[in-house]
Amino acid sequence: MRGAVAILLLTLTSAAFAADLTVMSAGALESGIMQLARAFETSSGHAVRVEIGNAPQLTARLTTGASADVLVAPAALVDQAVAAGTVVRDTRVTVGRVGVAIAVRSGATVPDVSSVDALRAALVAADAVIYNQGSSGTYIESLLARLGIAARVEAKTVRVLNGEAVTERLTSGGGTEIAFMAMSDAVRGTTFRTVGPLPAEVQNFTAYDAAVMTATHERAAAGAFLRFVTSAAAKQTWQSAGVEE
């Protein structure tokens, strides 16, 4: 009987200290953050709910007062959150960076994108140019202008909400569509063909940081989550998800 009571008390004590964490995360990190969230739940006993959004969506949520326990977002957005006081400055940590990949439909002719000139020619010849409204898409919009072809491809440019929508639009096509997406989306795609990264001269990496949010009531658990996802043990998970150091 005493043993049973002791076990019950231990269970109740553990439950009392278990936290329910909400993490607002950028979509480019979805695969890695979801895997690590599940691993953290198993190792810590805390529950983690991950809310995914692209950079504009996360910005809108923060602007309208939405909160969570942890924010994982592009570094520029975390800068804004620090300035606004919505995250705790001294909890900020670096998660990693994500480059931009080029993809086409499975079975489509693979374009030459090995150089900037080849990429320019491939985009002009493409039936559609697809990219998202997130951080990588914002860069592609500026890249088209840098390449001097923004006006030439404007009529066939398709800008969709996020990486998932890029995949859906690409795979539903039937011509020589070229899509740009975060490398973290490209490495887990199975319904399209990844041609490769952007040429090195025009490659762009979005840096991602994380921080504990000021409004959290679970500061200790949130801090433990950040230490977990930035630990040496987490590196392999991030790398397999297309996130570089």
Average pLDDT, the chain: 92
The residue type of 82 is V
pLDDT at 189: 83
Among the ranges given (35-49, 139-153, 177-191), the one the predictor scored with the smallest mean pLDDT: 177-191
Of all residues in the chain, the percent with pLDDT exceeding 90 is 83
pLDDT at 135: 83
pLDDT at 10: 39
The answer to whether residues 104 and 176 touch, using CB atoms and an 8 Å cutoff, is yes
**Spatial CA neighbour of 54 closest among 28, 77, 84:** 28
pLDDT at 96: 97
The answer to whether residues 95 and 210 touch, using CB atoms and an 8 Å cutoff, is yes
Domains and CATH numbers, the chain: 2-98+207-240 (3.40.190.10), 100-202 (3.40.190.10)
**CA dihedral sign, ordered 77, 83, 87, 88:** positive
**Residue pointed to by tokens 């909890």:** 91
pLDDT tens digits along 185-240 = 999 888 899 999 999 999 999 999 999 999 999 999 999 999 999 999 999 999 99
List Cβ neighbours of 183 (8 Å cut-off, separation of 6 or more). Answer: 98, 99, 100, 101, 197, 242
pLDDT tens digits along 5-15 = 343 333 333 44
Region 67-84: mean pLDDT is 96
Lookup: tokens for 122: 């491939």
The residue type of 118 is A
The answer to whether residues 53 and 135 touch, using CB atoms and an 8 Å cutoff, is no
Dist CA 169 CA 177 (whole Å): 9
Dist CA 236 CA 242 (whole Å): 10
